[in-house]
Amino acid sequence: MASVIARSIIMKQHSGAHRLSFATSIKIKSCYSSYAASPKEKSPENYTRYHEVSSENWKFVERLRPHLLVPSYPTDRNYASDWIPPSDTPPNLPYFVKRTKNFMVPVYLNFEEVRNARKITIIRHIEGDIWALEQAIKSHLENVTKKPVVSRVHEVAMHIKFRGDYVNEVKKWLMNAGF
């Protein structure tokens, strides 16, 4: 039915005979995987009668509705996971690390492209004095691990990379600092 209508519309648009032959060969794609779009569908009178269910059940539909935006975190509880919310006032430090849209600290584990075995800890969204933050975290990690830690600062992209997997340690340090 749909393809017939489309054909007549196209025939009205183009009056030339050479275009008619082209237009009649066009078919609109039908989606047969859906029963509603299949040629077996009949008119609504042939289907079952139905009645409305009590509106008390609508609350169960509302329960299935997802948040349109990322919901704000609750402030009235003790946080049992290792996640803590950022402090209300930013810490008095020359640098600042912004949280992600999901309220997470932007510290990730990357794998070097050349050698997959090389683990790189990356801190993103750094504002202010990036070199001061690098020195602070580097000295903390060297104190904890008792090993020299290799780092690379990228001022333009506002990130720092550390060679090795220090994700949990860096996350904990940043959250305790109030970021």
Partner 1 sequence: MKSNPKAYKQPKRGRGIYGGGKHGAGNKGSGQRQNFMRLGYETGNNPFYLRVPKEPYYKGHHLKREYPPISLLQLQTMIDTGRVDPSKPLDLVALCNSKLFLLSPLEKQFGFQLTDEGLDNFKGKVNIEVQHASEQVIAAIERNGGVITTAFYDPVSLLAMRDPMKFFISGIPIPKRQTPPEDAIEYYTDPRNRGYLADPDLVALERFKLAQKYGYELPDLKNDPELAMLLERKDPRQIFYGLNPGWVVNLKDKKIFEPEDEKLLEYYKT
Relative to beta strand 95-97, strand 107-111 is: unpaired
55 touches partner 1 (CB under 8 A): yes
Interface residues for partner 1 in 99-118 (CB under 8 A)? 102-103
Pick the binder of partner 1 from 65, 115, 146, 147 (CB under 8 A): 65
Output the smallest distance, CB 78 to partner 1, in A: 8
Output the smallest distance, CB 58 to partner 1, in A: 6
Residues 86 and 103 sit within 8 Å (Cβ to Cβ): yes
Residues 89, 90, 92, 95, Cα dihedral to 10°: -170
Cβ within 8 Å of residue 152, ≥6 positions away: 160, 161
Cα separation, 55 vs 34, in Å, equals 29
51 touches partner 1 (CB under 8 A): yes
Binding span for partner 1 by CB under 8 A among 51-59, 120-128, 150-158, 165-173: 51-59
Q: Which residues bind partner 1 (CB under 8 A)?
A: 34-36, 48-53, 55, 57-61, 63-67, 71-74, 77-83, 102-103
